[in-house]
Structure 1
Amino acid sequence: MTPVTWQRAESVALAAAFALAGPVAFGYAWWWPLVLFLAFDLSALGYVGGTRAGATLYNAGHNYIGPVLAAGAFALTSADALMILALAWGFHVAVDRGLGYGLKLPDDFQHTHLGWIGRARTPAGEHAEGA
């Protein structure tokens, strides 16, 4: 397996862990990650300001720092909303990575740390290797 395949496989495992942790470990409703799923994609609105700003804002909302901070705040406050947020956010990030949507590079929305997304897997004007 390639490193990207390993990263995607581990992300699928993490998504399952985040999805199960809510109802099994905390007794939360199973549907919370689904209800909140698209909320984290609001970070893509940064692309209104261009690819560099878009990548920065998108990446801020699509890494594990936010869920870890929310879980830490839960540990200090016991506020269930914070753990629900942490689990739903972690689930979102893991599902995205499992599907191949990685952290964005500043040159193009479809260029991620996991490679190019989309059919061509290359930006407009470039040729795929071997083409």
Structure 2
Amino acid sequence: MSNLIKLENACVFITAVSVYFIFDFSLWIFLLLLLVPDITMIGYAFNKEIGSKIYNLGHTYVLPIIVTLFYLLSKEELLLQISLIWLAHISMDRTIGYGLKYALSFDKTTIQKV
């Protein structure tokens, strides 16, 4: 099952990156912002429970999808650019085996439990 989840997320990654470049957005901005969601690891400076909650908030598909919906309402391309980079980051992480975190420790992820 884990391999199917990784394959699914590889498809999300390819789709997000493809749409990003179909819109002719900047490669440099993509590369600059691709790892920004990892800032959510800062929560682990407090403790594992807070860390996992903050990390998971930044690594769930819900928020970038909401940003995409705001793009559809406003047609502000920056919102689409941010959401596609965010989706690419999340799917990239999940493709290589990093899932949402359990409060047990940083290395205990949902993909490992599948």
Decide: shared fold, TM above 0.5. yes
Larger radius of gyration: 1
Percent identical among aligned pairs is: 27
> Greater RCO between the two (CA within 8 Å, min separation 6)?
2
Match of 1:14 among 9, 12, 15: 12
Moved over 6 A (4+): none
Aligned-pair CA distance for 1:27: 2.5
Q: TM-score, normalised by structure 1?
A: 0.82
Aligned-pair CA distance for 1:29: 2.4
Q: How many residues align?
A: 113
Aligned-pair CA distance for 1:37: 1.1
> RMSD in angstroms over aligned alpha carbons?
1.2
**Which protein is richer in helix relative to its size?**
2
Rounded to whole Å, the distance in 2 between the matches of 1:10 and 1:64 is: 13
Aligned-pair CA distance for 1:31: 4.2
Cα displacement string for residues 37-68 of structure 1 (whole angstroms, at most 9, x for unaligned residues): 11110000000110000000000000101110
Rounded to whole Å, the distance in 1 between the matches of 2:107 and 2:29 is: 28
Q: TM-score, normalised by structure 2?
A: 0.94
Unaligned runs of 5+ in 1: 117-131
